[in-house]
Chain A
Amino acid sequence: MIDFDPFPGDVPGDLPPSPPDSGIDVPAHLDVLPDGRETLVIGDVAGLAELAHRQGEVPEFQGTCGICSCEGVLRRFGVEVSERDLVEHAVTNGLCEVTGNPDTSGATTMEGQARILGDFGVPAHVEYGHSLEDLAANVEHGRGIIIAANAGELWQDPDSWEGGRPNHAVTVTGVARDPSDGSVEGFFVNDSGTGEAGKFVDAATMEAAWLQAGGRSVVTDVTSPVGPR
């Protein structure tokens, strides 16, 4: 655990003074959000962004947002695998869909994603979050996280909204907190569907995209403070 005071200076007594639980186990630094606000970025967002890529490396399996998310989590923990490696493993073990249509083949369940991670030595489980603080706590403890999100909210794309139900998997790599009061301002995600890495998602959007879509995550049982160097 690093020796770091996430909220230097005076903190108003009527505001939450710090993140919940026992503290922060990942790097943190002050930065500026896209809208110009100063923020405290918690997590190795830049390092983990280097692990991201757009899905679809295997032509016959294009529906692989869950598998690419697993790849990102495994590589964070030093397991050198490719999207192709994981597709082959998932097909062999019945952990992804083989529909006969390349566009929709490769899809995975949350439990299947947890099993893929475990098969490659990174045990994980599915859990339900009840607040953005639950998600932030997992980031701050250095856990690998895959969320079941609504792509319409995440992409601000009405055509992918589908009633707000979960329909897309992304990894969460960092959290942004207000330096003055510690409140969650948003999260950083790697999204294989768009190829965006370290993309900032504000708190309101994440609430709609993840919490209101069921709040389900695949969370590793083990931690790693930073991505591989």
Chain B
Amino acid sequence: MATAVGFIPYATIQEEFSQHALRSAEVPVEHYVSAPLPTLRWGTPAYAVFICPAARVRGMPPRLDAPDRWWAISAESRRSLVYALTKAVPYTPEPLTGPVVLSPTGRSLAALKEDARVLGELLDEAVPGFFRGEAVAAELREDLAAQLRAVLPGEVWPWHRALTPDLFAWLEGADHA
């Protein structure tokens, strides 16, 4: 369901990436699916994720290969806009280097969940303005940028920036339109 302002809430977008038929049919269970981030790079409001092979051992941070696929869902209809393997359709002309080992979170599960909840609230508040090219308070943009730095592992930050460059440019004060 879209919000009153016409965009699907972030929590629903997250569910969509977990429950979509593509997830069962195309994406290995073991793969790392990134946090969805908003973008207009395909000319329509969307959330995009990169996906990469991952190795996990209990008590140790995951080790991720460079993204091998990516996927975007409409922020207005929940329909998939694009799904591609990077070897067929790279999402950036620059090489995505890996593998990387994520740093230990150093946080409790409860603290991580609270961080994620706050990120969702900030995205729901800021993203309609981003999608519409409207002014958004600098303080809100700064809060969102800070929360993204808190939630997204630093080792995969370049992969996020390459996938949704317009979001990061907007967060840093540039006009994406």
Contacts and interface: CB of A to CB of B under 8 A. Distances in A.
Interface of A: 62-63, 65-66, 96-97, 99, 101, 103-105, 107-113, 126, 128, 148, 151-153, 155-169, 193-194, 213-216
B56 A101 contact: no
Contacts of A159: 59-62, 102, 104-105
A214 B23 CA distance: 10
Contact of A169 (B25, B29, B61): B29
A167 B56 contact: yes
Given A103-B63, A126-B24, A158-B108, A194 B58 contact: yes
A166 B105 CA distance: 18
Interface in B1-50: 14-15, 17-19, 23-33, 35
B19 A216 contact: yes
Most buried by B among A105, A109, A156: A109
A113 B28 CA distance: 10
Interface of B: 14-15, 17-19, 23-33, 35, 53-63, 65, 68, 99, 102, 104-105, 107-109, 111-113, 116
B56 A165 contact: no
B116 A164 contact: yes
Contacts of A152: 109
Nearest to B152: A163
A156 B116 CA distance: 17
A187 B14 CA distance: 26
17 contacts: A65-B29, A101-B55, A103-B55, A104-B54, A108-B28, A108-B29, A108-B30, A109-B26, A109-B29, A157-B59, A158-B105, A158-B109, A160-B56, A168-B30, A194-B58, A213-B18, A216-B19
